[in-house]
Amino acid sequence: MQLFLVRHGESEWNAQHLFQGQHHSRLTVKGKQQAKRVAKWIAQRCQPDLLLSSDLRRAVETAQLIGKMVHLKPRYTKLMRERALGNLEGKTTRGKQTEQDHYLEAGKGYLPVNAERLAAIKQRARKVIAIILKSKKHCVVLVGHEAINSFLANALLRRRLQTISQNHTQVHWFKLNAKGKVEKYKLTVSVK
């Protein structure tokens, strides 16, 4: 199985430098262009037979553009959502000694009020992996967000959590054997 983990295109809130978490935000014109480029790039490498996406608007729009290019209707799931960031959602990612700064500086050691715990994201990632392995598909595209995609990549590689940055529409690519073990992989592939 080939597996493509795609981060959604640039959203309006990304362009405004706002924490999104599980807030719905539409793609910008640039985000739509990014999604079309990644769709073409994937179509040149395989014919997807499963396209699974987060149900958040920015990922939905990205998945729809990919689906149109590869002639496949996306399926949506809450399991692929971004990490809920609680009271940080809607606040600027730029600031001066605000709660946002503490979150950015402390990384996984700081939990904003009402934010999703890392263990919950890890559990969602495991469920997604179980779904794709059970599907027995040959070419799978997952459209998600930086946090869930990072957790998915770490789980596939069977390693402790490491932050794996992923810019908009960058791809993590995996080749899995029949037992779901990674044979080859390439992280943060930039699509041009």
Q: Which positions are annotated as active-site residues?
A: 8, 82
Task: Give the angle 61-63-67 at the CA atoms, nearest 5°.
Answer: 120
The class of domain 2-16+27-82+117-189 in CATH terms is alpha beta
pLDDT at 97 over 50: no
pLDDT at 176: 96
Residues 6+ apart with CB under 8 A from 26: 11, 12, 57, 58, 61
pLDDT at 32 over 70: yes
Place 103 in a pLDDT band, splitting at 50, 70 and 90: low
pLDDT at 9: 96
Place 114 in a pLDDT band, splitting at 50, 70 and 90: confident
pLDDT at 169: 81
**pLDDT tens sequence across 58-83:** 999 999 999 999 999 999 999 999 99
Per-domain residue ranges of the chain: 2-16+27-82+117-189
Q: What tokens does 98 get?
A: 């605000």
Place 111 in a pLDDT band, splitting at 50, 70 and 90: confident
Average pLDDT, the chain: 89
pLDDT at 190: 84
N- to C-terminal Cα distance for the chain? 24
CA 86 to chain centre: 19
Average pLDDT on 135-158 reads 94
Question: Quick one: which H or E segment has residue 34?
Answer: helix 29-43
pLDDT at 98 over 60: no
pLDDT at 91: 83
